[in-house]
Amino acid sequence: MTRAFVFPGQGSQAVGMGQELAQSHAVAREVFQEVDEALSQNLSKLMFEGPIEELTLTENAQPALMAVSMAVVRVLEKDGNMDLAKVAKYVAGHSLGEYSALTAAGALELADAARLLKARGQAMQAAVPVGVGAMAALLGLDIGPVEEVVAEAKEKSTNDEIVVAANDNADGQVVLSGHKGAVEAAIEIATAKGAKKAMLLPVSAPFHCPLMQPAADAMAERLAEVVIAPPRVPLIANVTAGEVSDPDTIRKLLVEQVTGRVRWRESVLYMGEQGVEELVEMGSGKVLSTMVRRINRAMSGSAVGTPADIDAFLAKL
């Protein structure tokens, strides 16, 4: 079985995330402690106990999701004697999950990843005043028709407002991002074009669009200060949907990722073309693993996030 390890993005956070792992595995507790120390914050307590409103804040959700993903990977490696490079052909992550993927593959140190994601969350939140931007999910339209929707919405905009396809997640599942007025106009156009559902998302900022340029600039500065090593297996990058192992290219793509499209559908298709048969989602939730078959029916998906999941996965190896 040829596998890729994939790592979830924002939206997969939940109160209690990682708690069962911490109770059953010392190595998971060590991961959470290291992240807490790197951030000078009791993030693990927030993860275990909530409140959800505080956990969902971008600056908390991003390092928290990475921490749970890394706790799973470390338990597999240290307690399960798994060699990631022998089990996974690629790593990939959805948006912030790209940092989790790089950490799992040894390109980033855990503490550096935690600090980068904290900074990334703060910078993304600060880039656009609340209420100026918005994101919307379009269900039932593929990326081609969505590009037509975006073009029409831009034409109707009176103030050169921005709207782009920010996440190409799967066939019939695309997310828009940009100025609130332009996104709302796009929702109306998409509905008229036959979208099954077109709705604003409860997010705090318009991610993965040009409005995030101040955050991209901030991340360029932060990433320049961090050592990035060649990953033990190639990364499938969000903005190119192709593989990358060169540290300088990885650094550049992480900056571009802040304003660029998450090309997840294309990334999964590429991995399938390279012989990957199963995507294994490491961490909180099952968003990516349940989406797999909508993109490539020949590929399977599984999620590893609890001690029981870890035991079941190790038994398959």
Q: Give the residue numbers annotated as catalytic, written as ranges.
A: 95, 208
Write out the DSSP string of 183-239: HHHHHHHHHHTT-SEEEE---SS--SSGGGHHHHHHHHHHHHTS--PPPSS-EE-TT
Collect all residues with Cβ–Cβ distance below 8 Å to 202 and sequence separation of at least 6: none
Handedness of CA 108, 113, 115, 119 (dihedral sign): positive
Spatial separation of the C-alpha atoms in residues 205 and 187, rounded to whole Å: 17
Closest by Cα among 101, 62, 30, 65 to 283: 65
Helix, strand or coil for residue 120?
helix
DSSP class of residue 95 equals T
Q: For 8-50, list the strands marked E by DSSP.
A: none
Supply φ then ψ for residue 237, to 5 degrees: -80, 140
Question: Is the distance from CB of 8 to CB of 96 less than 8 angstroms?
Answer: no
